[in-house]
A = this chain, B = another copy of it.
Amino acid sequence: MAAAGNTSSKGGKTVLIVYAHPKPESFNGALLQKAIKELSSKGHNVIVSDLYKMKFDPLVRLEDFSGPSDVSKDVQEEVDKVEQADLVVFQFPLYWGSFPAILKGWMDRVIQVMSGFVRKTGFYKKGDLKVRGKRALLSFTTGSPSIPQESLEAMLLPMQVGTLNVVGFDVLLWQAPPQVSFGVEKGWDGGKGF
């Protein structure tokens, strides 16, 4: 795993993994480590945003509405990582059919800046659609033993289409479907948290 800020010297792609699980020995943690290993072995550069470890602040705050052109430092750091990346992978446990709160907060704050919402509305400064052409992939675990394809697509709509597509990500839907790990809480690590 290369440090944030590095670019690959081997001509590979740069992959940002936004990881949202508090427990390294969880199934999610194992998937993260596997992804880092596989991608690195193929010559790609991997950057990880470990949201719990970073103590990423998920809350939109009053300050976000106050200045004329302010982007918080922690948000800017995440924007910079996305700008470097060719692909962004979101690795998380599905909570109530959606992102866990800490990852929802990443969307609320980081994606919000990247969306280029105009400042005249009082909500962030105008930016470019900096994510245009970048790819995004969801990889998540769920306790459900299975989910019908149609329900899965409906459930993921606000995330894949309403959020990531809207700001310009090329979400990997048809080229490569989201990576869904079913029934995880009943196995693997002795039931100690998925």
Contact = CB atoms under 8 A, between A and B. Distances in A.
Interface stretch (A3-11, A97-105, A168-176): A97-105
Interface in A134-159: 143, 154-155, 157-158
A169 to B, nearest CB: 13
Interface string A84-104: 000000000001111111101
Contacts of A107: 95-96
Contacts of A185: 121-123
Copies of this chain in the oligomer: 2
Contacts of A60: 22, 95, 100-101
A126 interface: no
Contact of A121 (B65, B98, B99, B143): B143
A51 to B, nearest CB: 9
A59 B59 contact: no
A-B pairs, 9 with minimum CB distance:
A101-B105, A122-B191, A97-B162, A65-B193, A97-B158, A58-B101, A101-B104, A96-B163, A104-B104
